[in-house]
Structure 1
Amino acid sequence: MAQALGYLKETASQTAGPYVHIGCTPNFTGIHGVYDKDLGSGSLVNDQTRGERITIRGQVIDGAGTPLKDALVEIWQADADGLYNSPSETRGKADPNFFGWARCPGDMETGEFVFETIKPGRVPFRDGRLMAPHVTFWIVARGINLGLNTRMYFSDEEQANAEDPILARIEHRVRVPTLIGKREGNEVRFEIHLQGDKETIFFDI
């Protein structure tokens, strides 16, 4: 029998708090013996992975300009050929030596997160147009009720970025740079600003 819509009340949302680290990265918090290593920790690549090696570094920064020291960041991305390591990938076989997903808690002193990965290939949008190379980010921390989703594009892909169908939909063009990781050599710097003049664009997905 159907119940009235108001019969069951929605549970109030809570911020991630310190428990997200205990549950997702117990070794990082000093709780050993649950997993040999924290799920998603370490490099996304091995010696056989195809593609250009890069290191992504950054911080999650609050509205006062202070890096958060308790943020947890996850990334996922395509391999060098633009294929995802996923059962739903139907365009071809992704590189078996590329994991495609990783998780990193921010350093408790500096707030910095670090990912050892490769530069992703271009992936088609749903209408077939190619998107520029990008990495998808998910961020949680105290004070964030729901995980935040954003993307990092690459500063050395100006032409591809100009053609990207997602970037083209951003009405306020002055905010596009908040999605661009600044590349110097094999390192890419990506700062995620939660508030303020430099607030990063977040996606409702």
Structure 2
Amino acid sequence: MIDTGKNGEFRYAQTTIVDQNDAEFGITPSQTVGPYVHIGLTLEGAENVVEPGTEGAIELTVSAVDGNGDPISDAMFELWQAGPDGVHNSDLDPYRIKPATVEGFRGLGRAMANPAGEATFITLVPGAFEDEAPHFKIGLFARGILERLYTRAYLPGTDLSNDPVLQAVPAERRELLIAKKTDAGFRFDIVVQAESNETPFFGL
């Protein structure tokens, strides 16, 4: 068992059994999922939606904290987005008639959080897609989360009045889905399990 910030004894005795056939039959202790979400998913450069140095490249820093404000240091973030032309680099996008217009643009990124619960993507500013305002789609995985959480980060300073997804969010909570502008690009802070300022999440 691995406990973040462990400073005491494990809750259950550690077993010396190495073969499951030698284990006694019965109910096993309950435990949350993970931290194996990282195994096989950590690929070097996966956080680069475009290669560093690409014309127009920006940084998108994403963070995750829990309801106490403590960083979720084992979080894994996934990012999906349209390119600057508003087209997703996927055959599932009916508007895509050729590969991405920006060479090397993948439209998908994955990044692991550092001890502060943050990760930074190298990407491009997305364009508007159909009737949706420019935004980043973000998935969050972490220990104890049985299904990934989906949210969006909209761009500050853009017209969000007609975006159908944002309009489905209560007006007083829409501000929680708008990224902050930084010198290098944007920053988006995700809050999980908070009473008043939890980030809105979407069911798919």
Per the TM superposition, whether the score is higher than 0.5 is yes
1:84-95 equivalences under 5 Å are 84-91=88-95, 92-93=97-98, 94-95=100-101
Unaligned runs of 5+ in 2: 1-30
Asked which structure has the greater CA Rg, the reply is 2
- Corresponding residue for 1:9? none
Unaligned runs of 5+ in 1: 1-13, 26-37, 125-129
- Corresponding residue for 1:20? 37
- The whole-number CA distance in structure 2 between the counterparts of 1:47 and 1:141 is 27
SS at structure 2 position matched to 1:24: coil
TM-score (norm. length: structure 2) = 0.77
1:146 aligns with 2:147: yes
- The whole-number CA distance in structure 2 between the counterparts of 1:42 and 1:16 is 24
- Corresponding residue for 1:56? 60
1:169-180 equivalences under 5 Å are 169-170=168-169, 172-180=170-178
SS at structure 1 position matched to 2:89: coil
TM-score (norm. length: structure 1) = 0.76
1:103 aligns with 2:117: no
Task: Give the drift of 1:43.
Answer: 1.5
SS at structure 2 position matched to 1:178: helix
Structure 1 residues 16 and 98: CA distance shift in structure 2, 3 A: farther
- The whole-number CA distance in structure 1 between the counterparts of 2:32 and 2:150 is 16
Find the partner of 2:51 among 36, 40, 46.
46
- Which deviations, in whole Å up to 9, do the C-alpha atoms of 1:11-61 show, x marking residues without a partner? xxx854111111211xxxxxxxxxxxx1761411137956x3221112111
Count of residues in correspondence between the two structures:
170
Give the 4+ runs in structure 1 shifted more than 4 A.
47-50
CA contact (8 A) 1:72 1:104 kept: yes
Find the partner of 1:121 among 127, 131, 156.
127
Find the partner of 1:66 among 59, 70, 78.
70
What percentage of residue pairs aligned between the two structures are identical? 38
